[in-house]
Amino acid sequence: MTTPPAAIPHAAAEAYANPLLIRQLLVNPLRQSPDQTIVYRGEQRFTYRQLGERVARLGSALGRLGVRASDTVAVADWDSHRYLESYFAVPMIGAVLMSVNVRLSPDQIAYTVDHCEASTLLLHGDFLPLLAQIRARLPKLERVVLLSDTPVTTRPDGIDTDYEALLATGDPAHVFGDFDENTRATTFYTTGTTGMPKGVFFSHRQLVLHTLAVMGALASNPGGQNFNRGDVYMPITPMFHVHAWGMPYVATLLGVKQVYPGRYQPDLLLRLRSEEGVTFSHCVPTILQMLLDAPGSAGHDLRGWKMVIGGAAMTPALARAALGRGIDVFTGYGMSETCPIVALSQLRPGDAGADAHAARTSAYAAGKSAAEAAIGAGDITDAEVARRARTGHAVPLADLRIVDPDMNDAAHDDRAQGEVVVRTPWLTQGYLHAPDAARALWNGGWLHTQDIGRIDASGSLQITDRIKDVIKSGGEWISSLDLEALIARLPAVVEVAVIAVPDPKWSERPLPLVVLRAGAVCTADEVIAHLRVCAERGEISRFAVPTEVRFVEALERTSVGKLNKKRQREVALGR
């Protein structure tokens, strides 16, 4: 609630106190960049002026369709100009935007759309079969709007209207009103390894502050790993996933050209990068690897493409491969509960590699090839790679700590570890209809990430583990992620997961489960000897070196492809 002017001593009765509303993010871009471009798949082009008109049409048309303030409007689409329009129009009428995770199972999708009590669903034609399958389980759903890349001539059963027909009924000059900045703007669901997805939620105030803080953090880094008015933006993290990391709001506020690629196809993504001049993106490591490995990838000049990598740890090997192609990769850290961004791993002035990177960037700008610009093992140092692959520095207004179970701070010496807990003005304040989970999330007044990390003297965080996966041995934490990264260096190893097994003396000990390359030979002793060398070099502590190694055929994974260490542990322990 913004304090009414009347409550402020000496304030004028008519003084305007400016609630922080999403509509305000649009005011200046529409005035200052009216002719800037928004591209959909290279096939459709809109100006910001049209964006403003289409947002006004969508907002007013949804109202005429019967959507009320505080109603929930669910959207199931690939990354599109339509999604961007929904990011603004739905919250701007006081309704709640629910972004449907279309990668979930039909059961989970039905559960989430029903659980958030969506009255309205905007649905891409690709998902009509899914809708037919789950429609009966959505009793609260009152209307479905079809999203289509081509003109809709016949309306399928159960569809009330289509998006362009809906927009045609709207007012392009509709003026959006003000309301309480704590009004809910968005909600979406996050999946764990167990149970049904949980709903997180964010207010207008929270999204405006996330946008300002992320813009400030990204923009203020000189020489690279930044996002500024000269960039061209393309998301490669789905818009149904945590507001596409909040970047569409930042891009719009910056007034830059935006490119929405629809359903992700590596060849299209690479083509859009080249043809539309994309310079700023963000994605998970898997997508980055896919872009590097795609047929024809080598034919694209990727130099100078700034890319935030998050969602999972970027391995040094992947970072080096991307840097070798000239991609300016760096890490972003956050989760569904955190809106998401709380930290970024930009190379700061004086950091290892910052000068070398600036030199490479100048060389790129001068049109030199990677080889000419001396891109190679000699130029990109391990220290630079490690800096980019670190979790990074907290962004403005994010208060990020590593603590023991009693909430005492661990030292910032890059050795002491603790659970990462955080406060920022843009964290979910709970879970929808899940008070126990909400209470655990906010235990002690800090949001518990369930990540374990260490912090160095510059305040840079390095996540080392997940609480659920952590190994507590002789009172000390052993990082399963550190062990996995070191074991993965062995050429014979395809995959590795390190789990905790009970130990009478140490309480727990680490047990690596190793998948070998077909035909490769490697013994447990070789793995252990390798780790001893690593311990001598100080890369891990001596007590972290395991005494046992197990070789397996494959690792257990969850439905979304993440390692399932819980199940792994059950299998390994024969439960």
| Interface stretch with its own copies, choices 17-25, 291-299, 322-330, 488-496 (CB under 8 A) | 17-25
Closest CA relative to residue 177, chosen from 63, 12, 83, 54: 63
- In the complex, least distance from residue 296 CB atom to its own copies, rounded to whole angstroms: 30
Q: Report the alpha-carbon distance of residue 459 to residue 394 in Å, rounded.
A: 8
- In the complex, least distance from residue 80 CB atom to its own copies, rounded to whole angstroms: 25
Nearer to its own copies, 262 or 430 (CB): 430
Beta strands in 517-575 (DSSP E): 550-551
Residues 418 to 447 in contact with its own copies, rule: CB under 8 A: 423-425, 427, 429-435, 438-439, 441-447
Q: Report the alpha-carbon distance of residue 490 to residue 516 in Å, rounded.
A: 10
Residues 183 to 202 in contact with its own copies, rule: CB under 8 A: 184, 201
Nearer to its own copies, 1 or 136 (CB): 1
The answer to the question of residue 458 lying near its own copies (CB under 8 A) is: yes
Residues 25 to 44 in contact with its own copies, rule: CB under 8 A: 25, 27-28, 31-34
The answer to the question of residue 472 lying near its own copies (CB under 8 A) is: no
**Catalytic residue from among 337, 384, 419, 484:** 337
Question: Which contacts (CB < 8 Å, 24+ apart) does range 158-164 have?
Answer: 158/131, 158/132, 160/65, 161/65, 163/82, 163/122
Torsion of CA 185, 100, 252, 284, to 10 degrees: 120
Nearer to its own copies, 11 or 494 (CB): 11
Note the helical H segments in 116-203.
128-134, 163-168
Closest CA relative to residue 345, chosen from 353, 355, 337, 356: 353
Question: Which contacts (CB < 8 Å, 24+ apart) does range 165-168 have?
Answer: 166/58, 166/61, 166/62, 166/65, 167/54, 167/57, 167/58, 167/61, 168/57
- CA distances to 58, 98, 143, 148, 467 from 127, rounded to whole Å, are 21, 16, 15, 11, 36
Closest CA relative to residue 386, chosen from 302, 330, 348: 330
Among 192, 459, 474, 561, binds its own copies (CB under 8 A): 459
| Interface stretch with its own copies, choices 16-24, 119-127, 164-172, 499-507 (CB under 8 A) | 16-24
Among 37, 47, 182, 315, binds its own copies (CB under 8 A): 182
- In the complex, least distance from residue 270 CB atom to its own copies, rounded to whole angstroms: 24
Among 320, 348, 566, 567, binds its own copies (CB under 8 A): 348
Q: Exposure pattern of 267-287 as b/e (b: 16+ CB <10 Å)?
A: eebbbbbeebebbbbbbbbeb
The answer to the question of residue 254 lying near its own copies (CB under 8 A) is: yes
For the record, the structure tokens of 7 come out as 């409550």
- In the complex, least distance from residue 44 CB atom to its own copies, rounded to whole angstroms: 23
Q: Report the alpha-carbon distance of residue 143 to residue 64 in Å, rounded.
A: 13
Q: Report the alpha-carbon distance of residue 77 to residue 162 in Å, rounded.
A: 13
- In the complex, least distance from residue 564 CB atom to its own copies, rounded to whole angstroms: 27
The answer to the question of residue 363 lying near its own copies (CB under 8 A) is: no
Number of residues that bind its own copies (CB under 8 A): 81
- In the complex, least distance from residue 161 CB atom to its own copies, rounded to whole angstroms: 30
The amino acid at residue 304 is G
| Interface stretch with its own copies, choices 1-9, 92-100, 264-272, 367-375 (CB under 8 A) | 1-9
The answer to the question of residue 47 lying near its own copies (CB under 8 A) is: no
Nearer to its own copies, 73 or 208 (CB): 208
- In the complex, least distance from residue 427 CB atom to its own copies, rounded to whole angstroms: 8
Residue labelled with tokens 């890349």: 149
Give SS3 for 177. Answer: coil
Task: Write the burial class of residue 329 (CB in 10 Å: 0-12 exposed, 13-18 middle, 19+ buried).
Answer: buried
The residues that bridge with 499 in the sheet, in sequence order, are: 511
The answer to the question of residue 1 lying near its own copies (CB under 8 A) is: yes
Among 177, 230, 277, 376, binds its own copies (CB under 8 A): 230
Nearer to its own copies, 231 or 384 (CB): 231
Q: Report the alpha-carbon distance of residue 340 to residue 311 in Å, rounded.
A: 10
- In the complex, least distance from residue 15 CB atom to its own copies, rounded to whole angstroms: 4
Asked about 337 being catalytic, the answer comes back as yes
Among 457, 518, 521, 554, binds its own copies (CB under 8 A): 457
Among 42, 125, 223, 224, binds its own copies (CB under 8 A): 223
**Catalytic residue from among 2, 37, 190, 558:** 190
The answer to the question of residue 212 lying near its own copies (CB under 8 A) is: yes
The amino acid at residue 129 is P
**Catalytic residue from among 338, 426, 477, 565:** 477
Nearer to its own copies, 394 or 483 (CB): 394
Asked about 190 being catalytic, the answer comes back as yes
Residues 384 to 423 in contact with its own copies, rule: CB under 8 A: 393-399, 412, 423
- In the complex, least distance from residue 203 CB atom to its own copies, rounded to whole angstroms: 8
The answer to the question of residue 569 lying near its own copies (CB under 8 A) is: no
- In the complex, least distance from residue 481 CB atom to its own copies, rounded to whole angstroms: 23
Strands 418-423 and 198-203: unpaired
The answer to the question of residue 17 lying near its own copies (CB under 8 A) is: yes
The amino acid at residue 54 is R
Asked about 43 being catalytic, the answer comes back as no
Active site residues: 190, 337, 472, 477
